Amino acid sequence: MALATVAVAMLAQDPVITFDKTTHDFGKINEADGRVTTVFTFTNQGMSPLVLSNVRASCGCTTPKWPHNPIEPGQTGEITVTYNPNGRPGKFQKTITVTSNATEQTMRIFIKGEVIPRSAQPVNRYAVTFGELSLKADKIAFGTVNKGETAQKSIEYANQTKENVTVETQDAAYAYAQATLNPIEPGKSGQLMVQFDANACPMYGPVQQTVLLRVNGKADSAYAINVTADVREDFSKLTEDQLMQAPIAEIETEMQMGILAHGKKAKAALRIVNAGSTPLAIRRIIDADNIRFQAVKAPIKAGKKDIKFEVMTQGLEPGDYERQITIITNDPKNPIRTINIHWTIQ
């Protein structure tokens, strides 16, 4: 009896994983529309941290993404699952196997649906519907936009109803991506103008933001225009003398961390040398999974500086690992650098 009591007590200390759903039905999806995505939310209802060691799909057409950091007791996490219907007409059901340190170490979640082949799909000029508003697309890619510039692009829209449709933008957390639209009469079409202000954007490099619309007074998180841009520094106006005095970033592009302890954090530093005459500004460091860099607020004067970072190995299985980080600076000759960081877990 004493042994049984101890076993029950130990079991209660283990992490326990529960999902908000174990199956997602996409219903009928069009092959021509491309990939579809859903999110499975899970909760650690146990008494110790939950670590997902692997999430594996039964088919290469299905791609899962999952958190690699421990999920503390009572906290939630998300597994994002994307299905590619290209070349796969008909009904489908796919299995995603979740392996963790929970009491039930292996669990399975499922996606299913039916892919309508291209040949069977009617031509639809307006593929996106936001309530009574029809749009040709819900995505705009601005490409490269220099700091100080404002770019504009448009999406064709239509009112295919018999009533007037009013459209406004919801209050946005970021003011650098905005849309304008006038009331639309029945049967009318036009252009929804989206503006991206790179000068107001606080980041350099890849940026993704959403513009939320309010259609006929209704605010819905699904009424979102996805905006992407690559914000760059404009060095084209620098004089020859300014280029001669400009900062020069010398950064090692390969780092070998060696053998790291499983489940531990490893601290290291990346050396950056400013071989130029004027201060070198670190505009942005784009981290990768399992790697976190400290913020660099002050410019680097002529000389060297070590930027500290951590490699977090929680949830990683034994093996060799490589991650890429991107550093954006004000070095006009080489503003964007990619650094490969390697390590091994035994």
State pLDDT tens for residues 276-335: 999 999 999 999 999 999 989 899 999 999 999 999 998 899 999 999 999 999 999 999
- The confidence score (pLDDT) of residue 171 equals 66
Overall pTM surpassing 0.75 (yes/no): no
Classify each residue of 240-269 as buried b or exposed e, where b means 16 or more C-beta atoms within 10 Å of its C-beta: eeeeeebbbbebeeebeeeebeeeeebebe
Higher-confidence position of 263 and 80: 80
Higher-confidence position of 240 and 10: 240
- The confidence score (pLDDT) of residue 172 equals 60
For the chain, the farthest-separated pair of C-alpha atoms sits apart, in whole angstroms, at 85
- The confidence score (pLDDT) of residue 267 equals 93
Spatial separation of the C-alpha atoms in residues 28 and 10, rounded to whole Å: 46
Spatial separation of the C-alpha atoms in residues 67 and 69, rounded to whole Å: 6
Mean pLDDT of 260-278: 92
- The confidence score (pLDDT) of residue 119 equals 73
Query: Over the stretch 130-184, which tens digit does the pLDDT of each residue have?
Result: 888 899 999 999 999 999 999 999 898 888 888 888 888 876 655 677 776 677 8
* 64 confidence band (pLDDT: 50, 70, 90): very high
Tokens found for residue 79: 């597994």
Spatial CA neighbour of 18 closest among 112, 80, 100, 95 = 100
Q: Taking the CB of residue 234, how many other CB atoms lie within 10 A of it?
A: 13
Tokens found for residue 272: 């950056």
The pLDDT of residue 5 is above 50? no
CA 147 to chain centre: 22
Q: Which of 22-31, 208-217, 320-329 has the lowest mean pLDDT?
A: 208-217
The pLDDT of residue 2 is above 70? no
Please tell me whether residue 244 adopts helix, strand or coil conformation. helix
Mean pLDDT of 224-249: 94
Mean pLDDT of all residues in the chain? 89
- The confidence score (pLDDT) of residue 3 equals 42
- The confidence score (pLDDT) of residue 1 equals 43
- The confidence score (pLDDT) of residue 121 equals 54
Higher-confidence position of 219 and 250: 250
Mean pLDDT of 116-134: 78
- The confidence score (pLDDT) of residue 178 equals 72
- The confidence score (pLDDT) of residue 259 equals 93
Spatial separation of the C-alpha atoms in residues 148 and 171, rounded to whole Å: 23
- The confidence score (pLDDT) of residue 179 equals 72
Give the pairing of strands 282-286 and 319-329: antiparallel
Q: What percent of the chain has pLDDT over 70?
A: 93
- Give CA angle at 109 (103, 112), nearest 5°: 170
Tokens found for residue 329: 């600076």
CATH numbers and ranges of domains, the chain:
2-120 (2.60.40.10), 128-232 (2.60.40.10), 240-345 (2.60.40.10)
